[in-house]
Structure 1
Amino acid sequence: MVIFALKNSALEAIERAQNLAELETSYKAYLGKKGELTLILRSLANLNEAERKVQGKEANDLRNLLEKRFAERKKEIQREEIVIQEKLAIREHVDVTAPGKRLPKGHTHPLTLAQTKAEEIFQTMGFTVAQGPEIETEWYNFDALNIPANHPARDMWDTFWLKPKNAGHLLRTHTSPVQIRYMEKHNPPLRIIAPGRIFRYEATDASHEFNFYQLEGLMVGKEVSVANFKAIIEEFYRQFFGKPVAIRLRPSYFPFTEPSFEVDMRWNKGAWLEMMGAGIVHPNVFRAVGYIPAEWRGFAFGMGLDRLAMMKYQIPDIRLLYSGDLRFLQQF
């Protein structure tokens, strides 16, 4: 009775197996080292000779039957899996001769377009592109630029100070620190531009952002003058906007230049637009980097890349540049 019941349950388990893993589990349950039939075969030694002959024959016959049926079922499952794989292969067939799908092209951000164009123009005039960190020290952002602590000129820059404030770290308010770092490591004469992101604690509107891009420039030599600066900026605007433009210089004040001036540009024969601040490098700035003011002169300037991009591509609101709106970006 035990052998008969075991035979029926084992054969049912073999038929229920849907994959090789399930079949292997059933095999171990009946014919494994601790399988039910294996335990019966081991227990035959405890029977008398007459019982051992009868039950031994029945158990061995069942083992041979199950071994055969397990092997047959294994081949059946393997054939079934091959059929399934072939059907999947047909369904997922790739025609390598078919034309590929054209991937959509990305669009270059207008700020990147403006910065790349500006860098190319200044490089043709002998300027090197310099970079610096966005997290700056108080020394590079203010002190070395002739803006000492408690100087009222610091109110001109709404600064994001990093905690703890007494550590003197901040998000740079201009890329002028790049000029200081570059002059510390290079001897004059030199020409550099420093494009990059800057941060100001300002309210956001159509023409202001707390995070925007600036391009500053510096030229140092023996006989550098305002006339040199004017000629370079006029040529830059001519190439950038693709047409000659008129500019004018208005007296102004910046602590790191003396004299200082604002640069205005006449746009489309209309009103004058303020475009940048500039001036002759202050002697104290040269002293901070180890230059001798009596031997060297230079001019420095700073303009907003955002404004250049807005004017060139007729963008009415600076916030569009940072919106991530694909409808806007796909126009470029």
Structure 2
Amino acid sequence: MSGPNSDYDPVEVTPLKAEEVDAMREAALAAIATAPDLDALKHARTEHAGDRSPLALANREIGALPPQARKEAGMRIGQARSAVNQALAARQEVLEAEHEERMLVEETVDVTLPWDRTPVGARHPLTTLSERIGDVFVGMGWEVAEGPVVEAEWLNFDALNLGPDHPARTMQDTFWMEPADNAIVLRTHTSPVQARTMLTREPPIYVVCPGRVFRTDEFDATHSPVFHQVEGLVIDEGITMAHLKGTLDHFAASMFGDGITTRFRPSYFPFTEPSAEVDLRCFVCRGQEPAVQSCRTCRGEGWIEWGGCGVVNPRVLVACGVDPDRYTGFAFGMGIDRTLMFRHGAEDMRDMFEGDVRFTTAFGSEI
């Protein structure tokens, strides 16, 4: 820094000349105005407003001026530095606003997009199919009835005309609760719900009963000790097998598509008389030649076994307090697990119960 002068010497204070100060200011304002982002503005601030900037160094030269010249030079430098600082503040505000707008665009998160940080859950297909079946019958004016899975022996067997010597009562078919003297079982079918309904309601009765049942079956591709059934019961005046056939045809079409019908084959069940096995028209080949000959689903039969049905046995009506001379009815039962396998081509029943999420998520979260 130059030493103090007693006289004004413009040669020694060239940075303080008006044209030099104006040039420094214009250079600073130009650098600030053209700064494209906050990082560039930060560099311009250091270069033109920092401690080593031209204006800062020129400010230090004021002390070298004679007293009568310091005021004018100080005002010139001060005005220039003030203009630079104002330009910096204005440019800072503009660039920060642009930065925030850019961040809103570039870093926007679409909360409606799928995400995989936590896997999306899914409802079990047996649950959704049970509810779909219930909806079919509710749409026909029926009701959905439920009952306990731990059931009294009388409701599970006796009320349904399964006598004391019936083989279904043995340990080979039934899970008995201890102690055995209590005569409590895990229900082997959902028919006890039908018995409970007849005992607690007056006809007419139109109910469908989906739920879990238990039998001492092996756990393999087509059997499980825990599986799901849906049973239907109608008790009213003038009910015939024709009503049963029409109901099951509508049920079949709702599950497997328009045009799918059923047929009856004579059979025997203790709680219905007459009784029939229900076959389902093959929903793959539809029993049509020549596709039926090579159909792997029905194995060339054109029909698939689906469940059982029949007219409610008068003994069951009497046991449940219904007048058999006034009322008749029909009942049917199908496996929900088998229906699911038919509808979706599942080949192994174990996939439904082993808890592998890959099986469940394939069906989504249908409600």
> TM above 0.5, one fold?
yes
> How far apart are residue 154 of structure 1 and its match?
4.1
Cα distance per residue 1:276-323 (max 9 Å; x no partner): 111100111111111110010000011000011111111111100001
Structure 1 segment 59-70 matched on structure 2, within 5 A: none
Return the letter of the residue paired with 2:255: F
Does the C-alpha gap of structure 1 residues 157 and 264 become closer, same or farther in structure 2, counting only changes over 3 Å?
Answer: farther
> How far apart are residue 243 of structure 1 and its match?
2.4
> How far apart are residue 167 of structure 1 and its match?
1.0
How many residues matched? Answer: 237
Aligned to 1:296: 327
Distance 1:153 1:193 in 2: 23
Does the C-alpha gap of structure 1 residues 154 and 279 become closer, same or farther in structure 2, counting only changes over 3 Å?
Answer: farther
Corresponding residue SS for 1:213: strand
Aligned to 1:282: 313
Aligned to 1:124: 139
TM-score (norm 2): 0.62
Unaligned 5+ segments in structure 1 are 1-94
Note if 1:228 corresponds to 2:243.
Answer: yes
Return the letter of the residue paired with 2:214: F
Aligned to 2:126: 111
Distance 1:156 1:290 in 2: 30
Highest Rg: 1 or 2?
A: 2
Aligned to 1:246: 261
Unaligned 5+ segments in structure 2 are 1-103, 293-300
Return the letter of the residue paired with 2:174: T
> How far apart are residue 157 of structure 1 and its match?
7.8
Aligned to 2:19: none
Return the letter of the residue paired with 1:135: V
Query: Quick check: 1:157–1:173 contact (8 Å CA) kept in 2?
Result: no
> How far apart are residue 156 of structure 1 and its match?
11
Distance 2:181 2:162 in 1: 17
Corresponding residue SS for 1:227: helix
Query: Quick check: 2:278–2:308 contact (8 Å CA) kept in 1?
Result: yes
Distance 2:194 2:358 in 1: 37
Corresponding residue SS for 2:239: coil
What percent of counterpart residues are identical? Answer: 45
Query: Quick check: 2:253–2:261 contact (8 Å CA) kept in 1?
Result: no
Distance 2:136 2:210 in 1: 13
> How far apart are residue 274 of structure 1 and its match?
1.0
Distance 1:206 1:321 in 2: 10
Distance 2:215 2:354 in 1: 18
Aligned to 2:196: 181
> How far apart are residue 242 of structure 1 and its match?
2.2
Aligned to 1:141: 156
Aligned to 1:265: 280
> How far apart are residue 131 of structure 1 and its match?
0.4
Aligned to 1:320: 351
Distance 1:145 1:246 in 2: 28
Q: Among 157, 160, 163, which residue is 2:178 paired with?
A: 163
Corresponding residue SS for 1:150: coil
Query: Quick check: 2:175–2:215 contact (8 Å CA) kept in 1?
Result: yes
RMSD: 1.9
Distance 1:238 1:156 in 2: 38
Aligned to 1:331: 362
Distance 1:152 1:319 in 2: 27
Distance 1:169 1:328 in 2: 34
Return the letter of the residue paired with 2:133: A
Query: Quick check: 2:280–2:304 contact (8 Å CA) kept in 1?
Result: yes
Cα distance per residue 1:191-230 (max 9 Å; x no partner): 0001000000011211100000000000111011111011
Corresponding residue SS for 1:260: strand
Cα distance per residue 1:51-81 (max 9 Å; x no partner): xxxxxxxxxxxxxxxxxxxxxxxxxxxxxxx
Corresponding residue SS for 1:245: coil
Query: Quick check: 2:317–2:324 contact (8 Å CA) kept in 1?
Result: yes
